[in-house]
Each structure stands twice: as C-alpha cells, then as structure tokens.
C-alpha cells in the first residue's frame, strides 16, 4: 500500500516537487506485462503515447484506435488490462465509448485529455460519471519542458490503476439501489468536510446532487485531481448538481449551503472566525492539497460540531485524521468497499476505528441531509 500511496503523490504532485529540485524515485510490484489500448483521433498523439509507454518494460501497447467506434471493434478481438481514452473524436467520442464499455465489458479506463480545452474537460467528468476511473493531462511532445514529468505521470497512473476491480455499470434506467439508513443519532453539526481521491468525482457529484439547497452548513472538499482539471471539475459539479460550488480562496467567509474545493498546491483549513485558510505548508502530509490537513484543522476548530466523510482512493490520506475527528465527538463516515473504485483511504479509516458509519454514496448523502439541521 505504501508504494501505491507514493505513486499517487507522484501523479498529483510530481511537477510541483521536481520544480523545487527534489529527486523522486518509486518502485512498483513486479508482475506480468500490463496490456494497454490507446484511443485518440490524432495519429501523432497515438505515436507519442506508444513511445512513452514502451519506455517501461512492464507496459505493452497491444493496439491503438482513432475513434471510440474502432476501440469497441478492437475489444471484440482482444481484452486489454487498461484503456487510455481521448474525449473529442469523430464517429464516436470518448464519452459514449466509455459508457458502452462500462455497461457491457468493464475495463479500467483512464481519460487522457487536453485540460486546456473547456469542451474536453466537461466531457471528461461525464466520462468519470459513466465509470472511467481517473483523468490525466495529455502528455506534451518530446521537446516540451513538461514532457518528462507528464510521461512519468501517465506511466505511474497506468501501473497503479490497471488492476482496479470493476463492476458492470447498468444504464440509469435499469439501476436500482436499496439503501439501508444508519441508526439515527443526534448531532449539532456546523460544517461538513469531504476527502476523496481516485473515483471520488462521481461520488461527490452523487452526494451534492442529493443535498438540500438550504443546507445550513458549508461543505469543504479535498479531491486529489490532475493539474489543470479543477476548474472543469467545479463547473461540472455546479451544472450536474445545481449546488453552488467554488474553488476556495484564502480568508474567504464560508457560506452555508455552499461547497468549497481546495485549490491545487494549497492546503485548505479553517479558522475560528468561520473563514477558509489556505497555506502552502507541507505539514502533516506531502500531498497538497491533502485530506489530512483539512480534517485535522476541522477537528481542532470544530471538534464534535463537525462531520467528516472519507471517500474512495488509494493510500491513507485522511484516515488517521478522520479517527481524530471521531475521538473529538464528530460524526464520521467512510465509503463502503462495494461502491469504492479503490478501497484504500476509507479502509484504513475503518480498520483504525475512525468511522461512525460505513456507507455507499446515496446513504452518505441521506445521512448528511438528515443529521445536519
């Protein structure tokens, strides 16, 4: 687990760390070759992806496709361990291809998208909702100063996520959920904080979709996310849920019924004055932003008058601090294993006794709405 957690750090923080002159190495568990299908409408991008992935002896590109339709045809003959998927393509775009794959023969899909394209960023989050497991920026060309770190991020993501266990995504009209509500407790909650990593965007969307618009407390969110995609994530949440969501600014007054996303390269905490505190401090954890930093800050300031929610993701970020919140009387929730893309962070919290409840996404939303009065 430690190696996976370090890989996550590389994916989310590599560019920032290397720019500060720190040398990073990592090792992956030895295993069979990872078979990858690369899908992109640009032959030059496919050549670049193939070149990058073939630099790692553990990865084998077994095919390429110029459209989503051709990718589906390829899957009739061969089954890769993972697919890298572009968004904007002719015949069938990446969003539709992702939906079909996840509803018929689920395979881990990483969206490799141009973060500078607003239309692609929007479709990227709809693809995550459809079942893609992660998003990463499209690597720059060999002569670009960001080429090496973006290539490293892509390789690390593929190695980490290729063996994620997936289940078939049923079309929405067929999807039926039976949710058992947890035992009722009384609480005087003044703030809700949520932490998530891989698989988190779709769960956060589900939770916010079911929040009453007059929720009398603010919601602060740390989502580990690839650089360049935060603004698109915010826009997708607002459009999909109707819930007001903002990228947090330093010393901003928290408004009840609003959500706040931690910005890239800043730790997000709270103050006794009811404002958000942003810092570039690396205390507590090397992830930035980190769930641990937010949860500890809220535990110190709000104590029992808080609710903490730890969602899907690899590693341990936020697990110890969720336990800290519970020890101070806060209500704490960990996402259950069955609904988690990666049962890492919530599992760690459950194992150390950090969760009051262990619930699937819909039940998490219902519990927040019921307990926050």
CATH code where residue 7 lies: 3.40.50.2300
Task: Examine residue 181 and state whether it is found in any structural domain, yes or no.
Answer: no
Residue 245's beta-bridge partner residues? 259
Q: What pLDDT is attached to residue 117?
A: 63
Q: Is the peptide bond before 172 cis (omega within 30 degrees of 0)?
A: no
3-state secondary structure of 283: coil
Active site residue 279: no
Q: Are residues 331 and 219 both part of a single domain?
A: yes
Catalytic residue among 224, 290, 292, 339: 224
**Residues 246 and 139 both lie in one domain:** no
Burial of 92 (0-12, 13-18, 19+ CB in 10 A): middle
Q: Are residues 315 and 261 in the same domain?
A: yes
Residues 115 and 209 in one domain: no
- Is residue 179 in some structural domain? no
CATH of residue 268's domain is 3.40.50.180
Last residue of a domain, one of 161, 179, 210: 161
Of residues 12, 115, 162, 197, which has the active-site annotation? 197
Residue 349 lies in a domain: yes
The pLDDT, as a whole number, for residue 21 is 32
Six-digit token string for 326: 């519970």
Residues 37 and 113 in one domain: yes
How far CA 22 is from CA of 27, 130, 191, 282, in Å, comes to 17, 37, 36, 14
CB 244 within 8 A of CB 254: no
Domain containing residue 324 = 191-371
Which residue out of 81, 93, 123, 317 is catalytically annotated?
A: 317
Domain identity same for 127 and 275: no
Asked if residue 186 belongs to a domain, the reply is: no
- Nearest CA among 290, 242, 299 for reference residue 268: 290
- Exposed/middle/buried for residue 22 (C-beta within 10 Å: 0-12, 13-18, 19+): exposed
Residue 264 domain-assigned (yes or no): yes
Angle in degrees, CA 9, 343, 14, rounded to 5: 10
- 283, 188, 256, 364: which is closest to 269 by C-alpha? 283
224 is catalytic: yes
User: Looking at the structure, do residues 147 and 199 belong to the same domain, yes or no?
Assistant: no
Please indicate, yes or no, whether residues 9 and 69 belong to a single structural domain of this protein.
yes
Beta-bridge partner residues of 113:
137
Residues 198 and 346 reside in one and the same domain: yes
Looking at the structure, tell me whether residues 197 and 127 fall in a common domain: no
CA dist 159 and 8 (Å) reads: 11
Residue 168 lies in a domain: no
Query: 257 and 127 in one domain?
Result: no
Distance CA(4)–CA(17), nearest Å, equals 18
Within 10 Å of residue 253's Cβ, how many Cβ atoms? 9
336 annotated active-site: no
For residues 294 and 296, give the distance between their C-alpha atoms in angstroms, rounded to a whole number.
6
Domain boundary, last residue among 118, 143, 161: 161
Say how many domains are in the chain: 2
Write down the pLDDT at residue 76: 96
* Domain finish residue from 141, 161, 181: 161
Q: Provide the pLDDT for residue 284.
A: 54
In a domain, 256, yes or no: yes
Q: Is residue 212 part of a domain?
A: yes
For 254, the token pair is 């928290």
Residue 325 near residue 349, CB atoms below 8 Å: no
Cα dihedral value 305, 310, 315, 319, nearest 10: 30
> Are 128 and 239 part of one and the same domain?
no
Residues in the chain with pLDDT values less than 70 = 1-31, 115-120, 166-185, 282-286
């Amino acid at each position: 687990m430690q190696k996976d957690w370090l890989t996550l750090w590389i994916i989310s923080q590599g560019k920032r760390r290397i720019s500060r002159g720190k040398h990073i190495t990592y090792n992956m568990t030895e295993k069979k070759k990872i078979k990858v299908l690369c899908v992109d409408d640009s032959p030059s991008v496919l050549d670049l992806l193939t070149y990058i992935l073939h630099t790692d002896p553990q990865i084998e590109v077994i095919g390429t496709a110029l459209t989503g339709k051709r990718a589906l045809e390829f899957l009739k003959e061969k089954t890769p361990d993972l697919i890298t998927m572009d968004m904007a393509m002719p015949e069938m775009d990446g969003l539709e291809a992702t939906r079909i794959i996840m509803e018929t023969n689920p395979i881990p899909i990483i969206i490799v998208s141009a973060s500078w394209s607003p239309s692609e960023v929007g479709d990227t989050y709809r693809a995550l909702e459809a079942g893609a497991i992660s998003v990463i920026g499209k690597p720059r060309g060999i002569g670009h100063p960001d080429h090496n770190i973006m290539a490293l991020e892509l390789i690390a993501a593929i190695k980490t996520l290729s063996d994620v266990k997936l289940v078939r995504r049923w079309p929405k009209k067929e999807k039926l959920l039976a949710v058992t509500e947890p035992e009722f407790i009384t609480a005087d909650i003044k703030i809700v904080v949520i932490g998530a990593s891989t698989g988190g965007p779709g769960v956060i969307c589900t939770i916010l979709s079911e929040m009453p618009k007059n929720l009398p407390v603010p919601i602060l969110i740390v989502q580990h996310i690839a650089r360049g995609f935060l603004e698109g994530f915010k826009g997708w949440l607002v459009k999909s849920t109707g819930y007001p969501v903002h990228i947090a600014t330093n010393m901003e007054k928290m408004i009840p019924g609003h959500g706040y996303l931690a910005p890239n390269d800043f730790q997000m905490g709270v103050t006794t004055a009811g404002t958000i505190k942003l810092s570039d401090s690396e205390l507590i954890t090397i992830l930035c932003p980190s769930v641990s930093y937010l949860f500890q800050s809220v535990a110190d300031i709000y104590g029992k008058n808080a609710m903490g929610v730890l969602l899907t993701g690899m590693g341990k970020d936020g697990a110890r601090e969720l336990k800290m919140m519970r020890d101070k009387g806060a209500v704490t929730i960990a996402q259950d294993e069955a609904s988690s893309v990666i049962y890492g962070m919530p599992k760690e919290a459950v194992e150390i006794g950090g969760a009051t409840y262990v619930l699937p996404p819909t039940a998490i939303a219902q519990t927040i709405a019921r307990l926050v009065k």
